[in-house]
Amino acid sequence: MAMKRLLLAALALLAMAFAPVSASAQNMTLDFPSWQAEDPGFAEWWKALIAEYEAKHAGVKIKLYSIPFVNYVNQLTVRFAGHNPPDIVHLPTRNFASFASQQWLEPIDDLIKTTDIPAKWSPLQSEMVWDGKTYGLLLLPYGNLLYYNEKILQDAG
């Protein structure tokens, strides 16, 4: 449950960071492409998170849609370069530095300093810092796994 609250807060912060609105703004739709929008497990998770956010923020809708991963970073690059970025950015960690170095992302330090989010970060959160500023929240700190067949290795000597 704590992780769900953390991620809901992350989504809220990202929405605020990338699409600041006045208190009187109504009927706003935030653009949110993701390669996970239709992936089993991830799709349901994102949709539940979005539904909870929308329930707490009247007049704000989040349009989640899928872009296949093979095309995802290229399409985001074109959108940012054309000054038409999405409102909410779901970015692979390995591409973070190239987007941050071009100043395509907004720092979120001011948005998170009064929350408990920094205290709950994974140590891998440092990957979301560029030039001393935090530009994103690491949602899934992946690890690499190595599987091997012990018998084949023993037989090979």
| Domain positions in the chain | 2-17+24-156
10 Å CB burial of residue 87 (0-12, 13-18, 19+) is middle
Contacts of residue 104, Cβ cutoff 8 Å, sequence gap at least 6 = 80, 85
pLDDT digits 0-9 by tens, 25-74: 578 999 999 999 999 989 999 999 999 999 998 999 999 999 999 999 99
Q: What is the pLDDT confidence band of residue 77, given thresholds at 50, 70 and 90? A: very high
Q: What is the pLDDT confidence band of residue 6, given thresholds at 50, 70 and 90? A: very low
pLDDT at 115: 84
Cα–Cα distance for residue pair 6/60, rounded to 1 Å: 20
* Neighbouring-strand partners of residue 60: 28
Instruction: Please give the model's pTM, rounded to 2 decimal places.
Output: 0.72
Comparing 133 with 148, the larger pLDDT belongs to: 133
pLDDT at 37: 94
HSE at residue 28, side-chain half, CA atoms within 13 A, is: 18
pLDDT digits 0-9 by tens, 10-20: 555 555 544 44
CATH superfamily assigned to domain 2-17+24-156: Periplasmic binding protein-like II (3.40.190.10)
pLDDT at 145: 67
Q: What is the pLDDT confidence band of residue 122, given thresholds at 50, 70 and 90? A: confident
